[in-house]
A = this chain, B = another copy of it.
Amino acid sequence: MIAPPPPALDQWAAVRDLLHVRGMRWTPQRRTLVEILAKSDGHVTAVELIERCRIADPTTTASTIYRTLEMLEELGLVRHGHGPEGRQEFHVLPDRDHGHLHCEICGQTWELEATEAKGLVGALRRARGFRVDLSHVTIVGRCASCVEHNLERASTT
C-alpha cells in the first residue's frame, strides 16, 4: 500500500543500459526518439514520431526512425500494429496486451481489451492451435454513434 509501481520513466532511462549490454550504441538519434517516446502516451503513428523528432532535431531522417523503432520493438519497449489504412501505429510501453477497434465512418479508434477478445482468442487456440497476437489486431466496422446517425460508408475504407 506504500510503494507505487515504478514510473515508466525508469524503463526509458534504462534503455541505454539495455543497448550497452547487447553491444549496441547509444546515439543522439536514438536518444531523441526515446525522449519523444517517453513523452508519448498510447498510440502514435510513425509519421507523427518523425515529425516530433524533427522538431527536436531537424536533421532527423525517416529511415533511422523506422530502424530505431524496429530495434525498440525487439527490446519490447514499443509494439507496432497496422491501422485501418495499413499504416503503422506504435503503442508505447505496452503493459496490457490489447487490440484496436476502428470505425470506418468517423475514423475514431478505441482499445480492445484482452478480456473482450478472450472468447475469440480461446476459440482459435482450441480449434486451430492458433495463438493470437492481440496487439496486431485491428477490428474495423461502424461505431454505435455512426450506426445511430445512419451514416453511410465514406469514400475511404
Chain B residue nearest to A102 (CB atoms) is B136
Candidates B86, B101, B130, B132; contact of A87 at CB < 8 Å: B86
* Other-chain contact of A129, B85, B104, B123, B147 (Cβ < 8 Å): B147
Kindly state whether residue A93 has any CB partner on chain B within 8 Å: no
In Å, the complex CA distance between A33 and B100 comes to 34
Copies in the complex: 2
* Contact between chains at A139 and B124 (CB < 8 Å): yes
Residue of B nearest to A142 (CB): B131
Q: Give residues in A with beta carbon < 8 Å to B.
A: 73, 80, 82, 84-88, 101, 103-104, 110, 116-117, 119-120, 123-124, 127-133, 136-145, 147-148, 157
* Sample (13) of A-B pairs whose CB atoms are under 8 Å apart: A86-B87, A101-B124, A110-B128, A116-B124, A120-B120, A124-B139, A131-B142, A131-B147, A132-B139, A133-B140, A136-B139, A136-B157, A138-B138
